[in-house]
Structure 1
Amino acid sequence: MPNYTMRGVQFLTDNLGNKTAAIVDLKEHSAFWADVLAECGEPIDFQFLVDSQGEKIAVLLDFEKHGELWEDVYDCLIIESRKDEPRVPWEEVQRQLQEKGKLNV
């Protein structure tokens, strides 16, 4: 997995530095988490961080247990972080790949 910095996400690592889980800030990503709940129902096997009032403020996604869900979360966070980046026309991408010898047409 590439080392992108994602707003509202902290990673847990093992003693070798491998990422093993992510803590996702539910205030930062509340709309996304609502979509997750709509698809998979009330999560009974997730661990949450709660504030002093008992409100869920973050969810722990263990990659071993929730790997497929994390892949979806990761993709959505990357898409969200790049939504305002300028678009490159397909023809320009093709030309650049051809120049680098990575695409034969």
Structure 2
Amino acid sequence: MAADARQLDRLFEVIASRKGADAASSYTAKLFSKGVAACAQKLGEEAVETVIAAASGDRKGAIAESADLLYHWLVLMASLDLDPADVYAELERREGRSGLDEKAARAES
């Protein structure tokens, strides 16, 4: 199977299946047991680690940290009972629109 963005959807299914599981049974279940704030904090930590790897020119590190970042983003989505497809739809809605126009529209709201 070729690696592509569909991996995120498959990973999200596995992550979502861990909700309510015994915290001792998996790292994901342990994250869920700590609550949304802890999941958000972990995402933030991974974002910082990704930035550090990128800023230092560490390509392998940036790849590894980006994978961690995406995993923890999916954990946060599941902890909030959000579907990543809703984020994908928002990205699609913005497609073809200037980033400057998008920011201006959000500022007006």
Q: TM-score, normalised by structure 2?
A: 0.28
Which has the higher relative contact order, 1 or 2, with Cα contacts under 8 A spaced 6 or more apart? Answer: 2
- Normalized per residue, the structure richer in strand is 1
TM-score, length of structure 1 as denominator length = 0.28
